[in-house]
Chains A and B, each alone.
Chain A
Amino acid sequence: MSVLRNNRIRMLLSALLLTLGVAVPVLAYPQDPDNAALLYYQAFLSCPKAEEPLDTQLRDFADGKIALNKEIEGYVESCGSAIKLAIAASELRECDWGLRYSEGFSMILAHLAQIRTLGHILIADARVMASRGEYAEALARCVTVLKITRHVGDKTLISTLVGWAVEGTTYRCIQDLLGQMPGDVKALEQLRADLTLLSKSRASVRNSLEIEREVVLEQMKMEKVPDLLKDLDPNRSPEESMKLIMEYGGEAFLEQCRGHYSKFMTSVMSIIESDASYAEAHRRITEAFEQPGKDQKSKKKEAMFTASITPAIGKVYGLMIKATTHANAVRTAVELYIAKGKTGRLPETLPAGMPKDLFSGEDFEYKKTETGFMLKCRGKDLDKDEIHQYEFKVPK
């Protein structure tokens, strides 16, 4: 026992016991997942199935098309566990859905269907809370959905599009909530902080196009091209397709196809990344998308894959501008609501330094209306041939 009289050894033993004391409870059970997707998948499984007509009602209620009823309220309440899982997932940084990119266009994206449903449930929950006057909580729920859309990700073109769709529904819900809630400046400032943070992590079209390019280039190889052709033309057998590819020149032909496709995608990505105005970028992208069709008409066989695969991405640039502009309009509106909450009335003009209307690159046109105010784009959406405007109501 004389050993224990030694101060150094006593300190060492104390540190060892302390470490064990702290560490043992942590090691008693495995840690919660740090991959948000695992929690989302659990949330999907935890959602009770909504039969018709409840399923449609839920979606319509989330979209603000119908009023709340007892069935919807009861269903949203029964989704409590799924909502809790979704909130926990939305707070995590990492989200790996475990997609099999090697499958190319046959890759299953079932989570995209489910994430839309989960989004509708969360937005419905926000509207239910708003109906009880819990506006700060309702806005927080909307922010959760926006965080989830960041997790939906930009790893595939389709997931980027689905993310924008869910985001659009969420911003429309926020618009409705802002139009109902009394001037709660604290809640509005929290919303402003959340939206500013989220604006820095928007889905990158460049990223989804880059991954799309890599996936497609991999599919345009001899061993995988039958699968790609089957996806593009399900009525043709892989053997038949292979025979045709061989007649065109086999691998040498596919190499030409890869070159054509890669060049096309690089040019589109460089336009999207450039500092060009929306109108200029739209013009250049339209020209770029006409090229594969022209090449095909002038008997350039190597254009065949480019011409058949790329139409899906033709409108993506416009959709990106539309989604970001909608987000910017809501952020601008939040500033106006905060100003009203502080001063009791809406400002006469837009404050300086507001997020822009990306169709024109300028501030939104701000106009007070009888029921609130309107933020109108100054540039036209050239794909839709219309000028978007966003209406905001102000509670009396």
Chain B
Amino acid sequence: MNEQKDEKWLDELISRSIDTSEPKFDAEQWKQKHPGEFQALVEGGARRPLAARFGVLSIVMRSRIAQVAAAAVLVIAVGLFIARLDHDGQQQGEPEQWAKSPAEMVTSASLRTAYNRGGMEALEEQCDRAARILGQGLLSMKDVVDESNG
């Protein structure tokens, strides 16, 4: 096992318990603020012929301002990619995503995850949600008679 793979696994494991994430680029906000630029970023490459793209590249290599602008576009693109990955990761971390049955909502692991995620408030909320699902309540005599009659 190489060192890089070791670290990746440890990081994954630990990041489930601790919020180790760095401040992230808010791609959604940027997208809403700059719809034109976003559209250009998404569609730009696809619309231009190969020759034109090489033309742009040669301009970029020559102009200092264009180099900075290109770097900014690259950062934004990476930000978009990371934001997408992060979004997927958060969805997996939600306890209700992997709790396959109501009982799994109240395992020690699930309750700890809730507490780690949002402190006492999240723990209490998870308990209350579980109680709503798990609570069977009393059968009334009418229920029993109705069931017996099919």
Contacts and interface: CB of A to CB of B under 8 A. Distances in A.
B119 A315 contact: yes
Interface residues of B, number: 38
B120 A319 contact: yes
A262 interface: no
Given A59-B128, A247-B1, A105 B108 contact: yes
A216 to B, nearest CB: 10
B17 A308 contact: yes
B76 interface: no
B123 A158 contact: yes
B18 A311 contact: yes
Interface stretch (A21-29, A44-52, A364-372): A44-52
Contacts of B1: 244, 247-248
Contacts of A231: 107-109
A109 interface: yes
B23 interface: no
Which secondary structure dominates where chain B touches chain A? Answer: helix
A293 interface: yes
Contact of B108 (A47, A156, A234): A156
A186 B137 CA distance: 38
A45 B139 CA distance: 10
A296 interface: yes
A158 B112 CA distance: 7
A260 to B, nearest CB: 13
Contacts, number: 122
A312 interface: yes
A301 B6 contact: yes
Given A296-B10, A304-B13, A312-B116, A110 B106 contact: yes
Interface string B69-85: 00000000000000000
Nearest to B9: A244
A105 B124 contact: no
B107 A116 contact: no
Interface string A128-170: 0000000000000000000000000000111001101100000
A112 interface: yes
Contacts of B6: 248, 301
Which secondary structure dominates where chain A touches chain B? Answer: helix
A104 interface: yes
Interface string B3-22: 10010011011101110000
Contact of B17 (A113, A232, A235): A232
A49 B137 contact: yes
A106 interface: yes
Interface string A48-74: 110000010001000000000000000
A109 B106 contact: yes
A180 interface: no
Contact of B138 (A47, A106, A107): A47
Interface string A216-230: 000000000000010
B107 A308 contact: no
Q: Which of A106, A108, A158, A233 has the largest count of B CB atoms less than 10 A from its CB?
A: A158
A-B pairs with lowest CB-CB distance, top 9: A49-B137, A105-B109, A231-B109, A113-B130, A113-B131, A113-B127, A247-B1, A234-B98, A117-B131
18 contacts: A49-B138, A59-B128, A105-B107, A106-B109, A107-B108, A108-B107, A109-B106, A112-B111, A114-B135, A158-B112, A158-B115, A231-B109, A293-B18, A301-B6, A304-B14, A311-B17, A311-B18, A315-B119
